[in-house]
Structure 1
Amino acid sequence: MSTVQKVRRSKVRLEEREAVETLVRDAVADQSVWDLHTHLYPPAFGSPLGGAKHSADPRGLLLWGIDELLTYHYLVAEVFRVATPSELPYADFWRMTKSEQADHIWRHLFLERSPISESCRGVLTTLQAFGLDPADRDLKGYRKWFAQQPLDEHIDRVMELAGVNRITMTNAVFDDNERQRWLEDEKVGADPRFAGVLRFDPLVRDWPAAAAKLSEWGYPAGERLDQSGVDSAKRFLGDWIDRVDALYGAVSLPPGFRYEGADDGRDGSRVLSEVVLPVLAERGLPFAMMIGSELRVNPELRDAGDMVGQSDVSSVVRLARDFPGNRFLCTMLARENQHALAVAARKFGNLMVFGCWWFLNNPSLVDEITRMRVELLGLSFVPQHSDARVLEQLVYKWRHSRELIADVLVDKYADLAATGWRTTEGEVRRDVGLLLEKNFTNFLSRRES
C-alpha cells in the first residue's frame, strides 16, 4: 500500500470516528433516565429548607439547596483532611448550624485551595447548570437564589437538567422518621415523579433488633427466629410493599455478608431464604443488594465515617443459583469486586449488575468499570444510578456520568466500525436506551419461571 493510500485510509477512519462520536454523544445526551436508586423524596416528606411557598421542616427528608450540597458527607470527610480535628474538633463542627458548616467547607475546599476533587467539581457543575456563575464565588448569592425557588418547580427543573424522567426513592421502613410519615399520610408517596422502594436492612443484618421492632409494631416475633417470626416478618413485608407501592425490595450489606445456604446457621440467611425472597417472588419484585459498606469506622464523622471493604461475590452467585425464581439487582462498593461480579452476571440471567456506587463514583473508576462491563456483558447491565441524597446532585452526577458513558461507547462503536460493521443512528439510540432506561424497566417487569 502506498503512502498516499495509507493517508487516505487514515482520513476515512478519522471521519468515520468523528461521525460515530457525534451520533453517540447526541444519543446519550437525548436519552432520558429512570434513576433506579436515590435517597430523594417528594415535598410531602418535608424539607429542612422550605424555599418559596414551603415551610421548613427540621426533620424533613427532602434535602436540597447549596448548603446541603456543601455539607454532604463526601465534603465533610474531605474538609477534615485539611482542617483537622486538632484545629476544629468534630464536636465543634457538629454544633455549627448548617450554614456555618457550609461556610467552613466553602472556605477550606473552594477558596483556600482549588476545588478539584469530584465532589467539589460536582457542586460547581450544578451551579453552572442553573445559570449561576461559579467564578463569582458568591456563596451568599447562591443561597439567596436557592431560597427563592418554588420547590415543586425546582424539582421539575432539576429533573430536566439531569435528563431524569423518574426518581426512585429509598424508603427505609425501620427509620422512625420516615415510617411515621407513611403512617400519618397515606398519600405521602403519591407524587408521580417518585417511585417507592422498600428498604429493610435490619431484617437481614440484625434479626433480634428487627424482631423487637416487629413485635412493637404488631407483628409478634421472638429474638430466636422461629416459624412464628417468619410468618410475622412475611406479613410485615407484604403490608409495607403495598403501603409503599414498592418497585423492589432492598438492603445494604457489609463486606462481611455471607450466604452459604439456607441452613448455614446465620439468621440473615434464613430471613433471606424463608422471608424476603419468597415474598418478593410471590409479588414478582426484584431484590436489590448493595454490598460493601463498613459503617462508622470513624464514628465522629457520623455519615461521613463509613468505609469500603472487599465483599464475597460467591454469596451473590449462591443466591442467584439457589433462587432462580427471583431477580437480583446488585452493586458492590469495592473496586476489587467488579470483575468477579460482572463474570457472575454472565452466568445468571436473573442477576442485573448496576451502577458505580458511592466511592466508585469517580471518573477514572466509572470509565474503567463501564469499559470492563461492556466488554463482558455487552449492553445487558445498568451502567449508573445517582445515589443522590441532595436533590441537585442529580444534575452533576448524571452530567458527569453521561460524558463517561459516551466516551466508552464512542470507542466501542469505533472498534465495530474498524471491523466493517456499520451501526445506524437508530441502532445506537436503541442501545443507549437499553443502558440508561430499558434494561432497568424490563428487569422490573420480567418474571422468572
Structure 2
Amino acid sequence: MTITTEKGIRKTVEEAIDNQPITDIHTHLFSPNFGDILLWDIDELLTYHYLVAEVMRWTDMDAASFWRLNKKEQAELIWQKLFIERTPVSEAARGVLTTLQEMGIDPKTKNLDTYRAEFAGRTAEAQVQAVMEQANVSNIVMTNDPFDEQERAIWLDGMKPQDNFHAVLRIDPLLNDFENTKESLRAWGYDIQEKWNEQSIAEVNRFLEDWIGMMSPLYMAVSLPPSFAYPEDSDRGRIIRDCILPVTKKHNIPFALMIGVKKRVNPDLIDAGDFVGKADISALENLLAENQENKFLVTMLSRENQHELAVLARKFRHLMVFGCWWFMNNPVIVNEVTRMRMELLNTSFIPQHSDARVLEQVVYKWKHTKTVLKDVLTEKYEDVRSTGWPVTKEDIEKDVAALFQENFWNFLEKDFRR
C-alpha cells in the first residue's frame, strides 16, 4: 500500500517501530537462572555508575566515603541530590523516571520507599519477562567474562542460559592485560610460556576453544582504548593476529571491537571514573583490509570517530557498525549519528543496543531510542516520497525489521526464530 502523505508516513513508522520485536545485541545482563549476577530493582537503577558520576558533582562527600555507604544508602543519596533537590533532566536520571512510568509505577509520588515496595516480592524470572514484554525485546545478548570468578563458576558448573538469552565471549583481560592474565591461565592448566611462541599460541587458542564450546557465543568481544593500534608489536597485537582472528574465522563468529574507552581517569570513582578518547581508525582499516574473510562488529565511543567509521563500512561489507555506545547514548547524539549512518549506509547497520547493566534499563533505553528513530525514519521516508518515488507500508516494515533484528542475525548467518 503506497503512502501518500507525511502524516501517513509518520503513523506507519510509529506503528512499525512499536510492533517490531528487538534483538538487543549488546548488554551486560544475565539469564535469570544465573542467579545474583543479574542486577535489577530500583536501588540498582539509582546506583548505576552514570548516576554515581553525576551525584559526585552535587555533594561534598569524597568518593571513599560514598563507597563505604551500603547500596540502600547510596541510592537514597542519589535520589535526594539528583531527583529531589534538583530536576532530573540528565539522560540517566530521566531514564529512571521513564522506567518507572513504563512499568506502571507512578513517578509523581517522589517516594523512594514506595518504589521499593513495588519491586519487593518480585522474582528475577518474572521481572525479566515483564521487562522484555514492555520493551518488546525478544532476544537479549549478554556479555560473558570467563575471567570473572563468579561468572566463571556458573559456566563451569554446567549452567546454560534460557533460550532468549545468548552468550558472548568477552576477552578484555586477555588482550588488555596479558602480563597478569597469563598467570590465571597457567593456574587453570594452560601451559603459557614466558615467550610468545607456538606453545603459547596453541594454549591461548585452546582456552578460547574451551570457552566457545562451553558458551556457544554469538561473537567474541573486547573494549579497547583510543590508543589501540594494529598491527602492533605487543601482547595484544600478537594475540589478535595469532589467536583471535584465526579462531573467530574458524567458527564464523564476528570479532566485536568497542573502541575508545580510557579506563579510570579518576580511579576513585571506579566504574564511574572512565572517560572517552578519539581513536586512530587506521587500526580498524588495517584489520578489515587484511582479514576479508573475518567478520567485525564495531562501535566507537568518541563522537569524532563516527563519520570515519560509517565511511569505512561503505568500503568493507564484513564490517557491521552497531549502536551508540555508552557516552554516545544521548538522544541528541543518537539522532545525529543515526541520520548520518542512514545517509551513508542506507539501512545496513544496527542503530542501537541497550548496553544495560541493570535489567530495567532495557525499558528506558529502548523507549528513548524508539522516540528518536521515529523522527529520523519519518524524515527519511518523507524525503524519498517527495521525489515521487512510492513509499509503501511494506517497505517501512521491512526496513524496521532489518534495523531492529534481521541485520544482526543475517550478519551472523544464524536463524533467530525460535
In structure 1, what is the Cα distance between the partners aligned to 2:147 and 2:204? 13
The equivalences for 1:67-216 within 5 A come to: 67-83=43-59, 87-183=60-156, 185-186=157-158, 188-216=159-187
Matching residue of 1:250: 221
Unaligned runs of 5+ in 1: 1-13, 48-60
TM-fit CA distance, 1:405: 1.2
In structure 2, what is the Cα distance between the partners aligned to 1:144 and 1:42? 24
1:165 aligned partner, one-letter code: S
In structure 2, what is the Cα distance between the partners aligned to 1:153 and 1:21? 34
Q: Does 1:320 align with 2:320?
A: no
Matching residue of 2:394: 426
Q: Does 1:40 align with 2:13?
A: no
Matching residue of 1:52: none
Provide Cα deviations, 1:213-266, integer angstroms capped at 9, x if missing partner: 211111110232111100000111011011011111011111111003xxx422
Provide Cα deviations, 1:314-373, integer angstroms capped at 9, x if missing partner: 111111111111000000000000000000000000000000000000000000000000
Q: Which has the larger radius of gyration?
A: 1
2:25–2:408: 8 Å Cα contact kept in structure 1?
A: yes
Which of the numbers 297, 300, 307 marks the counterpart of 2:268? 300
Matching residue of 1:50: none
Of residues 264-273 and 434-443 in structure 1, the stretch that sits farther from structure 2 once superposed is 264-273
1:208–1:222: 8 Å Cα contact kept in structure 2?
A: no
Matching residue of 2:6: 17
Aligned CA RMSD, in angstroms, stands at 1.2
TM-fit CA distance, 1:15: 7.1
In structure 1, what is the Cα distance between the partners aligned to 2:161 and 2:57? 42
1:445 aligned partner, one-letter code: E
Which of the numbers 321, 346, 369 marks the counterpart of 2:337? 369
The equivalences for 1:361-440 within 5 A come to: 361-440=329-408
Matching residue of 2:17: 28
Provide Cα deviations, 1:78-108, integer angstroms capped at 9, x if missing partner: 000111xxx2121111111101100000000
Matched residue count: 412
2:34–2:161: 8 Å Cα contact kept in structure 1?
A: no
The equivalences for 1:221-300 within 5 A come to: 221-260=192-231, 264-300=232-268
1:371 aligned partner, one-letter code: R
2:261–2:277: 8 Å Cα contact kept in structure 1?
A: yes
In structure 1, what is the Cα distance between the partners aligned to 2:327 and 2:61? 25
- SS of alignment partner, residue 221 of structure 2: strand
1:88 aligned partner, one-letter code: M
Matching residue of 1:54: none
1:211–1:229: 8 Å Cα contact kept in structure 2?
A: no
In structure 1, what is the Cα distance between the partners aligned to 2:124 and 2:233? 49
In structure 1, what is the Cα distance between the partners aligned to 2:277 and 2:389? 42
Which of the numbers 320, 335, 341 marks the counterpart of 2:309? 341
1:34–1:165: 8 Å Cα contact kept in structure 2?
A: yes
Cα distance 1:15–1:283, how it changes in 2: closer, same or farther (>3 A)?
Answer: closer
1:73 aligned partner, one-letter code: H
2:168 aligned partner, one-letter code: V
In structure 2, what is the Cα distance between the partners aligned to 1:349 and 1:434? 16
2:32–2:128: 8 Å Cα contact kept in structure 1?
A: no
List, as ranges, runs of 4+ consecutive aligned residues in structure 1 with deviation greater than 3 Å: none
Matching residue of 2:412: 444
The TM-score, its normalising length taken from structure 1, stands at 0.90
- SS of alignment partner, residue 172 of structure 1: coil
Provide Cα deviations, 1:292-323, integer angstroms capped at 9, x if missing partner: 11111101101100000111211111111111
Q: Does 1:350 align with 2:318?
A: yes
Among all aligned residue pairs of Structure 1 and Structure 2, give the percentage whose two residues are the same amino acid: 50
Provide Cα deviations, 1:274-293, integer angstroms capped at 9, x if missing partner: 10110111111111000111
2:338 aligned partner, one-letter code: T
The TM-score, its normalising length taken from structure 2, stands at 0.97
